[in-house]
Amino acid sequence: MREKPTVLFVDDEPHVLIGLRRILATRCGHWDFRFLSDPRRALDLILGGEVDVVVTDIRMPEMDGFALLKAVRSNEATQDMPVTFLTGCLEDDVKRRALDQGATDLLNKPIVPEELVARIASMLRLRHYQDQLKGLNHTLEERVRSRTEELDRARLDIIWRLAKAGEYQDEETGGHVVRVGCYCRLLAEQIGMNRTFVEAIFLTSPLHDIGKIGVPDHILLKPDTLTPEEHKIMETHCRIGEKILVEEAQGMRPFLQWRDQTRSLGEMGSQHLFLAMAGDIARAHHERWDGSGYPFQLQGDQIPLAARIVYLADMFDALGSDRPYKQAYPHDKVMSIMHEEFQSDAFDPMVYTAFQAVSERMRQVREDIADEGRPHAGDDSSFM
């Protein structure tokens, strides 16, 4: 509401407006008044935000008071504006209809000046409270939004730190897990997955190798090619990761149940999806579409979609990154190796098609997110 509130009077009879003007001129220097005989012009003024409260006649040609009220109530910006009807015919059914349709108040003609001033004052008070309430609601929404953002940031922070912990021993190139998250988000969006899935894969794919913290150092850090036995041990990082992310989390159940009493089911549902996807990815991110991957030789649709996406994203990043045994391949070579892999049935065709559509953007991600650390000794592209 403006500092000097504006009251609009609408009446098709000029002598009524003249009478109102005379009554108010001597009484209310702290308010501004507008007087209009054309309700359509009045509506323009109201919708234009130029008035604070409205007093209107009911019976007017072309647009009556009810039509004016309806137009005001159906506009989001003016729907709460106090509107009082001023009329000479206050039969019961007119009164009822007026209140049903949202009139704030009703005033009889002939006008009693003191009553008119008191009603205007009460409309303006109402308007003032409405403005205060809107301000409070806005502040509250802002607080909720910033608190949610804070929680999201904290969650993201924990995930990145956990992912970093996973690659700390491994000393895999620094930006790898961050890039994998970004690639997966691009691929999932391109496939047409919903927002929840896209956000979940963005947040959980960086944890794909978390299980490497359970692989002995002499194997993880071995500078030479692994023996078949060592390879078998290395493969356990998939199951260890799944255990950490899913099974170990079961131990937290009593704590979660206690905490979740105050949380909505929707939130708990997304938490569940989140952990389930993280577990799927850890377990199956080395499975190939043709069933020749590991650790379970899953095939086709047996491999969770999120893991099929991570498998491709992880390989794309490894090929384009420096490793102890090779320099990063140029993008053209990366693309041709990816195509060969596709032809040998490594990838879900749907994921590969999405990859073809977003590969340029993935290449951009690789350029934007550089490696901070040095490539580690003993990695093997099959353990990307």
- With binding defined as CB under 5 A, does residue 280 bind Fe ion? no
- The tokens describing 328, both together, are 């990063």
- With binding defined as CB under 5 A, does residue 235 bind Fe ion? no
- With binding defined as CB under 5 A, does residue 313 bind Fe ion? no
- With binding defined as CB under 5 A, does residue 314 bind Fe ion? yes
E strand residue ranges, the chain:
6-10, 32-36, 53-57, 83-87, 105-108
Nearer to Fe ion, 5 or 293 (CB): 293
- With binding defined as CB under 5 A, does residue 334 bind Fe ion? no
Whole-number Å distance between alpha carbons of 91 and 59: 13
SS3 of residue 369 by DSSP = coil
- With binding defined as CB under 5 A, does residue 287 bind Fe ion? no
Report the DSSP beta bridge partners of residue 36.
Answer: 10
- With binding defined as CB under 5 A, does residue 379 bind Fe ion? no
| Residues belonging to the active site | 212
Q: Which of 209, 242, 280, 348 binds Fe ion (CB under 5 A)?
A: 209
**Residues binding Fe ion: what is the number (CB under 5 A)?**
3
* In the block, residue with structure tokens 């353990």: 383
Nearer to Fe ion, 242 or 314 (CB): 314
For Fe ion, which stretch binds (CB under 5 A), given 12-20, 127-135, 205-213, 330-338?
205-213
Q: How far is the CB of 275 from Fe ion (least distance, A)?
A: 19
Q: How far is the CB of 351 from Fe ion (least distance, A)?
A: 16
Cβ-in-10-Å burial (0-12, 13-18, 19+) of 10 comes to: buried
Nearer to Fe ion, 11 or 317 (CB): 317
- With binding defined as CB under 5 A, does residue 215 bind Fe ion? no
How many CB atoms sit inside 10 A of residue 56's CB? 26
356 secondary structure, DSSP code: H
Report the DSSP beta bridge partners of residue 108.
Answer: 87
Instruction: Tell me which residue has its CB nearest to Fe ion.
Output: 384
- With binding defined as CB under 5 A, does residue 384 bind Fe ion? yes
Q: Computed over its alpha carbons, how large is the radius of gyration of the chain? A: 34
Report the DSSP beta bridge partners of residue 34.
Answer: 8
- Contacts of residue 287, Cβ cutoff 8 Å, sequence gap at least 6: 293, 294, 296, 297, 298, 299, 302, 303, 307, 308, 311
Binding mask 164-203 for Fe ion (x = CB under 5 A): ----------------------------------------
Chain positions contacting Fe ion, by CB under 5 A: 209, 314, 384
